[in-house]
Amino acid sequence: MSRNQMVLLGGAVAVLVLAVIAYFAFFTDGGQSANVPTRGLSTAIVVQPTDMTLGSPNAPVKVLEYGAPSCPVCAKFEMDNFDPMKKTFIDTGKVFFIFRTFPINGAADGAAEGLARCAGRTSADNYFHFLDLLFRNQKDWDPEITSDVRGGLLKMARIAGIEAEAETCMADKASADRINASEKDAVARYNVNATPTLVINGVVQQPGYIPWPTLKSTLESFLARKQG
């Protein structure tokens, strides 16, 4: 599925088509169906040991983001929202943040996530710093913009100081398996069919770009429910 299909959020028909594609891609085992929530229904967030997270696990609000390193909407969302969200909610103990890669350009997003995981071996902060680097420099490595994806990702690795292990990181099978498992779980548990998709305290939000004032207001409303 191409990036353009995944980020197209302009109508109910497109969303339905994407949901059907996701269903048949991941649930063709003997005709069994999965119970998937519609937007607004609540399904508890289960934090995995391999998740990349920021903030206190005891925070009253958990925010799970499904995003793709090559997704342009994810890049804009991150550049506009991540720093103020971290300062206002994560660093103050109000939000526990989890990011999971939901690939829209399989090989490229997998390689990018592999590099991010290597960058983040010493700390989650380094993982998120590298993710920010990928988002801000998509034009250098995105397969729908450049033909030299490998060269672009190696450039990102050089900037982050992990060039020596870059090839191994990009080809890491454990990382690829984790992404595939996470993607299937996202579809089964939350009916994810586009990026970015946020799940806040188990409640799936409408996918796509969210302006900071809207996101801030949404997070405050979840906090108020916890404090009420």
pLDDT digits (tens, 9 = 90+) for 5-29: 444 433 333 333 333 333 333 333 3
pLDDT of residue 226: 84
Q: What is the CATH number of the domain that holds 173?
A: 3.40.30.10
Confidence (pTM): 0.81
pLDDT bracket for residue 78 (50, 70, 90)? very high
Q: Does the pLDDT of residue 38 top 80, yes or no?
A: no
**Any idea what DSSP says for residue 206?**
P
Q: Does the pLDDT of residue 220 top 70, yes or no?
A: yes
| 153 within 8 A of 112, measured Cβ to Cβ | yes
pLDDT of residue 50: 94
Cα 5 from Cα 180, distance rounded (Å):
19
Q: Does the pLDDT of residue 55 top 60, yes or no?
A: yes
Residue 141 phi, psi dihedral angles, 5° rounding? -140, -10
pLDDT bracket for residue 211 (50, 70, 90)? very high
**Per-residue pLDDT tens over the stretch 138-188:** 999 999 999 999 999 999 999 999 999 999 999 999 999 999 999 999 999
Domain hosting residue 57, numbered range: 3-227
Strands (E), the chain: 52-54, 61-67, 95-101, 197-200, 203-204
Residue 198 phi, psi dihedral angles, 5° rounding? -100, 140
pLDDT of residue 228: 64
Q: Structurally, how many domains does the chain consist of?
A: 1
Q: Does the pLDDT of residue 98 top 80, yes or no?
A: yes
**Per-residue pLDDT tens over the stretch 184-195:** 999 999 999 999
Cα 139 from Cα 210, distance rounded (Å):
22
Cα 176 from Cα 82, distance rounded (Å):
25
pLDDT bracket for residue 34 (50, 70, 90)? very low
pLDDT bracket for residue 40 (50, 70, 90)? low
* pLDDT, averaged across the chain: 86
* Look-up of token digits 């997003």: 109
Taking Cα atoms as reference points, which of 177, 201, 174 lies closest to residue 190? Answer: 201
Q: Which two structure tokens, joined as six digits, stand for 7?
A: 């980020």
In angstroms, what CA-CA distances link 214 with 12, 76, 169, 209, 218?
22, 15, 36, 10, 6
Q: Does the pLDDT of residue 93 top 90, yes or no?
A: yes
Looking at the DSSP assignment, which residues form a beta bridge with residue 52? 99
Q: Does the pLDDT of residue 31 top 70, yes or no?
A: no
* Look-up of token digits 């060039």: 163
Instruction: Indicate the SS3 state at residue 192.
Output: coil
